[in-house]
Amino acid sequence: MSQEHSFASPAPSGLGALAMACFCFFALLSGKVTHSAAPVLACWMIGGGIVQIVAGVIELKDRNIVGGNVFTFFAAFFMFVTALSLLTKYGLANAGLPMDTTIEGWGWLAGAAFLIMMTPNYLKATKLMFLLVILVDIALICIVMLDLKLDVNRAAVAQTAAWLLLVCGCIAIYLAGAISINTNFEKAILPIPGPFIK
């Protein structure tokens, strides 16, 4: 995975957008906010999508196949599709029109499979980034179970996903800060554990 950039590394902003999404999904899945927050959440997801698509394109330009593809995937599906889905479901529900949202489970199943296939690449990233990706993998599997309406304890699965995403958001914020502070001061002020594989 290339670490050289023609611009400054976009990782802090991409991780910041991921943290925002994780915190918002935590609030929704844990019941801290109701589904009536969907239109406002959609606005935040669009903002996050803009940040992540920029980060992804810069990473791809700099030949970072993993970071570039994951950031652009997250921009498209975690952010933009989620925003459109939230607005669509909110509008249809308020209009009293029927909808079958189970299709989202199938979409998230492919998304979870994609991220799981990308996960081994993060063994060459920092240990915190690898942990973040593993936790997102598990949270996505929980979301798949919810969206496919599988016979599971929905409250427990939603809470599991919520808390995993909150932890992911915290890790993303720490990494964003550590990367930018360490780069700016040109020394390791905030520790970032090395990779499992060099």
* Radius of gyration for the chain, computed over Cα atoms and rounded to the nearest angstrom: 17
CB crowding 89-120: b at 16 or more within 10 Å, else e = bbeeeeeeeeeeeeebbeebbebbeebbebbe
In a domain, 71, yes or no: yes
Query: What pLDDT is recorded for position 13?
Result: 96
Q: What whole-number percentage of the chain has pLDDT above 90? A: 95
Residue 1: inside a domain, yes or no? no
Would residue 2 count as lying in a domain? no
* In-domain check, residue 98: yes
The residue range of the domain holding 125 is 10-185
Structural domains of the chain, count = 1
pLDDT, residue 198, reads 87
Q: Tell me which residue of 196, 56, 46 sits closest to 131, measured CA to CA.
A: 196
User: What are the pLDDT digits (tens) for 134-184?
Assistant: 999 999 999 999 999 999 999 999 999 999 999 999 999 999 999 999 999
Residue 49 lies in a domain: yes
Residue 147 falls inside a structural domain: yes
pLDDT tens per residue across span 48-104? 999 999 999 999 999 999 999 999 999 999 999 999 999 999 999 999 999 999 999
- Confidence (pLDDT) at 58: 95
Quick: pLDDT tens for 100-114.
Answer: 999 999 999 999 999
pLDDT in the model for residue 119: 98
Q: Is residue 173 part of a domain?
A: yes
